[in-house]
Amino acid sequence: MENIYPVFDKLVSRESKETLLNQSGRVYWLYGQSGSGKTTIAIELEKQLHDLGKFTIVLDGDNLRSGLNQGLGFSTEDRLENIRRAAELAKILVQNGSIVICCFVCPLKSMRDLAREIIGKDFTEIYIKTSIETLIQRDTKGFYKKALEGKMENLTGINSEFEESEKADLIIDTDIINVKEGARLILS
């Protein structure tokens, strides 16, 4: 890339920052369909880590779309760019000693592979699995009702593809595991 001169090698080292924070940086990448419990588990996980004296940052899909990723839609191309940007941000944060908890729909294997490739060895993939029946019953944002009535396009699992996990490091089925237990599983 012409006219770009990164200074990563001149910054305070990751090791020094992790020593200061008394922790090792890590990215916990929670993904699943809308309403599966990603954000709820991320919030609980953050609280539990905070109680242990750990510094965390939560990168939530809706929060990023209201700022950094504003203007991106829900086409496959826009979703891929959303994940690319989020992964690049998570990589910067983890390289500075942060424990980063990401929660995104991230519906395609290729998107999860991209995030894993960008973040590298610090990446932990966690699939928040929930049956479509439970998602429709919860419908916390009213998306499933709209999609089933034909009033909403690109809802993952209804009129947009969602690929089940093939290589998640952990699967949390929120049909049978509650929020606190889910967060504890991640901590363990």
Task: Tell me the per-residue pLDDT of 129-186, one tens digit each, with 9 for 90 and over.
Answer: 999 899 889 888 888 887 777 887 877 777 778 898 888 999 999 999 999 999 999 9
Hey, what CATH topology would domain 21-187 get?
Rossmann fold (3.40.50)
Task: Tell me the per-residue pLDDT of 33-65, one tens digit each, with 9 for 90 and over.
Answer: 989 999 999 999 999 999 999 999 999 999 999
Enumerate long-range contacts of 46-55, CB under 8 Å, 24 or more apart: 46/101, 47/183, 48/183, 48/184, 48/187, 49/99, 49/187, 53/22, 54/21, 54/23, 54/99, 55/21, 55/23, 55/97, 55/98, 55/99
Task: Tell me the per-residue pLDDT of 63-93, one tens digit each, with 9 for 90 and over.
Answer: 999 999 999 998 899 999 999 999 999 999 9
